[in-house]
Structure 1
Amino acid sequence: MAIAASGAYALGTFSLAGSPGFPGLVMDGKVLALAGLQPLSRRLGTPLTGIESLLTMLDDWAGNALALSRLADHLAGCWTHGQGLPAEPVDVGRLRVHAPIERPRQFFCSGANYRKHVIDLIVDQRGDPATQGMSADECRAYAVRLMDERAERGAPYIFTKPWSAIAGPYDPIRIPGHVEQPDWELELAVVIGKPCYRVSRDEARDCIAGYTIVNDITNRARVHRQDLKALGTDWVMGKGLPGFSPMGPYLVPASQVPDPQDLRITLKLNGRVMQDESTADMIFTIPRLIEYLSSQVQLWPGDILITGSPAGNGTHFGRYLKPGDVLEGTIGGLGMQRNVCIASEAGMA
Structure 2
Amino acid sequence: MEAHAHPSGPFAVGTFSSGDGPRFAGLVAGGRVLDLRTVPDLPGGGATTRGLLERWDDALPLLRAAAEEAGGAWRPLDGLTVHAPVEPRQILQSGANYRTHVIDLAVAHEPEGGRPAEQVREETAAMMDRRAAEDRPYMFIGLPSSVAGPYDDVVIPDWCEKPDWELELAAVIGRPAYRVPEDEALEHVAAYTIANDLTAREAVFRRDMPEIGTDWLRAKNPPTFTPLGPYLVPSAFVGDPGDLRVTLKLNGDVMQDESTKDMIFGVARLVAYASQAVRLLPGDLVLTGSPAGNGMHWGRLLRPGDVMEGSITGLGAQRNACVAERA
TM over 0.5: yes
Other-structure match for 1:64? 59
1:99-118 alignment, distance < 5 Å: 99-101=84-86, 103-118=87-102
| CA distance in structure 2 between the partners assigned to 1:237 and 1:230 by the alignment | 17
1: CA distance, partners of 2:114 / 2:56: 54
1:41 aligns to what? none
Post-superposition offset of 1:94? 1.2
Q: Percent identity?
A: 51
* Aligned equivalents of 2:13, 2:81: Cα separation in 1: 14
Corresponding residue for residue 79 of structure 1: none
Q: Paired residue for 2:48?
A: 53
Deviations 1:43-100 (A, max 9, x none): xxxx32111200111111111012212332x33xxxxxxxxx3223222121100000
**CA shift at 1:153, angstroms?**
1.6
Q: Is 1:339–2:320 an aligned residue pair? A: yes
Output the amino acid matched with 2:21.
S
Q: CA deviation at 1:135?
A: 2.4
- In structure 2, runs of 5+ residues without a counterpart are none
TM-score, normalising length: structure 1: 0.89
Contact 1:2/1:29 (<8 A) preserved: no
1:13 pairs with one of 7, 15, 18:
15
Per the alignment, do residues 220 and 265 of structure 1 end up closer, same or farther by CA in structure 2, a change over 3 Å counting? same
Aligned: 1:87 with 2:81: no
Counterpart check, 1:170 vs 2:118: no
Which residue identity does 2:259 align to in structure 1?
Answer: S
Aligned to 2:291: 310
Q: Which secondary structure state, in structure 1, belongs to the residue aligned with residue 211 of structure 2?
A: helix
Aligned mates of 2:66, 2:262 — CA distance in 1: 36
Q: Tell me the equivalent position of 2:203.
A: 222
Amino acid aligned to 2:24: F
CA deviations on 1:138-195 (whole Å, 9 max, x unpaired) are 2212222221221122411111111001010000011122111000000000100011
CA distance in 2 between counterparts of 1:344 and 1:89 reads 37
Instruction: Say whether the 8 Å CA contact 1:37–1:86 is kept in structure 2.
Output: no
SS state at 2:322 partner: strand
* Residue 201, structure 1, aligned to residue 201, structure 2: no
The answer for the alignment partner of 1:78 in structure 2 is none
2:63 partner amino acid = L
SS, match of residue 57 in structure 2: helix
RMSD (Å), alpha carbons: 1.6
Which of residues 105, 116, 119 in structure 2 aligns to 1:138? 119
Q: Per-residue CA shift, 1:115-138, capped at 9, x if unaligned?
A: 1101111222137xxxx9542222
- Aligned residue identity for 1:285: G
Higher relative contact order (CA 8 A, sep 6+): 2
Poorly superposed stretches of 4+, deviation over 4 Å: 1-4
* Counterpart-to-counterpart distance in 1, 2:66 and 2:239: 20
Q: Tell me, which stretches of 5 or more residues in structure 1 are unaligned? A: 39-46, 76-84
Q: How does 1:265-344 map to 2 (within 5 A)?
A: 265-344=246-325
